[in-house]
Structure 1
């Protein structure tokens, strides 16, 4: 692989199973094996299934929706993470990916499981040090990396080859998960994210995101400057990305084809513009960090675009060649 920076011009914008127990592979820090079980399954259509998993780590039943081919032939899995709202727009009936984009149609002809967790607003899909009075118990890293994969592999033909992707909050989470679990994932795509936690600005962004949903970031990784913040910093731990397939994208906050002429253009630019400016700055710093380590990656810098779903729909398609390489499809 070699590092590619891609520039895009304006014109180029683009219940059929019963309960079963699953035992995750031991984690390096585990003394016991974690087990999860399937509470129930709802077949939404021939290529979309909702699985409700009883998670010991989370202490509750967690819904996951899988976009999958017909049949059970062996195939890889892409874990696709949401933004800060994490499905709240649909009252947690589905991931915002399937509500706001054409992800279901896009994956319909792909020989891959697209795995979409539902829920976890402002959670950063990480293991919180303690339960939050508002956001509850969040042990997403344990759930996604140890409890869930055996269920996906066992019920949906997963062949043990995995990649992870996400947008905004989910972009940072995806990059954190792969650096902390490099043996699990072969590739990553991070769309409009901030891939560090060490700078004052980036920590403030994380804290502000969590506070926007009523949570306290001290319950996640402890007080500022604590060891958990650097332990979950993709830039600090970027060496773990060596040999991975990496795609990172961002806009620059300026109006683009998805804003021009839209009735809510002013609102989109006023809200999504500054957020994407911050993402661009973070992405440039992350590119420099990977360059420093001579780690190849593909970066897409759009000369337009706000922090909004139409661009993430476009960027998922732009990321697909990198993810397909990682997944071997």
Structure 2
């Protein structure tokens, strides 16, 4: 049986900065996934009109939700070749301040190369070789998406990453400014809807996708605990959720990507997308940040930034649910 939890629901108007409260919600679909409430309402907490005693209003202030173009400050190369393998000069990327971690220092003879190859479901196989930089932190940049990984004992990286542009450029940067760039063409991207959520640190953010009216915990509900299969996205039978980033990396940056095969799907309807995070000991009472990226019909990227104040630790075990950070998908069967 699922552990009893509460859900805190936030409804936000996108494109503006507003102050919103979080309301504990006990909907049937939410209870099916999280279970009914067990957190007691403090005596000084106000009651809601028309709500049961179990529903309470948390005194949470100032959610800031803004819409803006995402700028990396990087001038991307424009190679003629479909796949390019190069070594780069020192990067112009601004990396997070590293505390207590030794800076990577390659030898003068260090060769760093990267390659990219398109594969099924508009994914890209990304590889890098840097034999002189084993077990080092690397930041991967692609069309606004950013996450951190770590090289192997042999100084290698092998990843499968969802493409966010048909002419897909990937920049891989070490903390000392060294790095490499790889590019490939992903023609199949036009066949997919794709939404990204990215954040810094262990803040517990998750994408939840409920396909064609699926309830929490049922078939068609995709999240980190039930991400689906890439094979489903290839055949058109369903979407897939992929997570990118190394949880053990210093100053970790993580990204989740939901992909749906709109060109090969036989069903019609909508896919409900929400962003959720559990109130835990690691994030309670803090202000956490996330960013969403969504591919538009013209191929551009819509970016939204979220600053979210998490309730105090007496709400631990509850979930913050934001239904408006990612746009629901409307799907027409083919």
TM-score, length-normalised on structure 2?
A: 0.28
More helix by share: 1
The structure with the largest alpha-carbon Rg is 2
TM-score, length-normalised on structure 1?
A: 0.28
